[in-house]
Chain A
Amino acid sequence: MKQFMVLCAILPIMLLLMIQFSLDEVNAYKMQSINQLVYAKSEEAKQNGCFTSEMEDELKDRLMALGLDEEDISIDFELDSEITPDAENGREDGYIKRGYPIHYYVSVRFNRPMASVLLPDNRYYYTISSYMASEY
C-alpha cells in the first residue's frame, strides 16, 4: 500500500518527463527540417527570379510530409503572377531583377510543444521571414 502511494506520486512526473523528452526530439527535427526546406526552396527562387505557385505547392507537400497539417502551415510568397513592373524596386513583369530583394514568409504552428493536458495555450508559431537578393 505504501509502495502504491509512492508510485501514484512519482509516476505522473516521470512519465511527463519522458514524454516531454520525445516530444522535444520530434519538434526539434521538424524545426530543423523546416529550416532546411525553406532555405533550399529560397535558393531555387533566387535562380528563378521569383517564387512560383509550383514551388509553393512543392514546399507545402514537403512540409506536410513531415507530419504537419495543411491548416498549420502558412506560406506567403510573392508569386510570379503578382509581380508587376516597377522600375524603382527592380521588378519586371513576372520576375525580380538581379540584386533586388525577394521576400518570403513561412509560418508553421506547432500544436504540442509541451506534454501537458492542462495548459490552455499549448501552441507555438515558428516563423521564418526574410528576404534575399535575386540572381536571375
Chain B
Amino acid sequence: MKVFIVSIGIILMQLTALVFHSDLTAYNNSKYMLQMLAEECAAGSAVNADADAFNEGNIVFGEESRAYTDELVAYANAYYPVFMDGTVYVESYDANYSAADPYVAVELCYTRDTDYFRLPLINVTQITHASKYEYLQIDE
C-alpha cells in the first residue's frame, strides 16, 4: 500500500514535468515563429522603399512598406497554424526617413485568451518581438 501511494506521488510529479515541458516547447515555437515574422515584416518593408524617391537618391518608406507589413500580418493571422488561437497585431511601426540613418523597426505582439501554461502558477498570454532593418552608409 505504501509503495502504491509513493508511486502515485511519483507519477504526479512526472505528469507535472511532462505538461510543463510540452507547454514550454509550444511557447518557444510560438516565440520563434513570431520573431521570424517580425524580421520578415521589417525586411520586406525596408525592401519596398519608394521606387521613385530611390531613383532620386532618397530612401523613403511610404505606403507600400506599411502595406507589406499589414498584409503579412493578416496572412499570418489567417494561415499560420501556430497563431490560430489568438491574433498577431502590429504594436509599433517606426520608419525613419532621415538621410543619415534610414530604418524600419517593427514590433509585433501576439495575444491569446487561453494561457500557454496549463499549470497554475505561471500565466503567459502575450508574446512580443521586434525587428529592425536599416540601410547603412558605406564609407568610401
Contact = CB atoms under 8 A, between A and B. Distances in A.
Contact of A10 (B11, B29, B32): B11
Interface stretch (B18-26, B86-94, B115-123, B124-132): B18-26
Given A17-B15, A129-B79, A132-B43, A32 B32 contact: yes
Contact of A132 (B11, B32, B33, B40): B40
Chain B interface extent, by class = 20 to 34
A10 B14 CA distance: 13
Interface residues of A, number: 28
Interface of A: 3, 6, 9-10, 13-14, 17-18, 20-21, 24-25, 28, 31-32, 35, 39, 46, 98-99, 127, 129-135
Interface of B: 3-4, 7, 10-11, 14-15, 17-18, 21-22, 25, 28-29, 32-33, 36-37, 40, 43-44, 47-48, 64, 68, 72, 75-76, 79-81
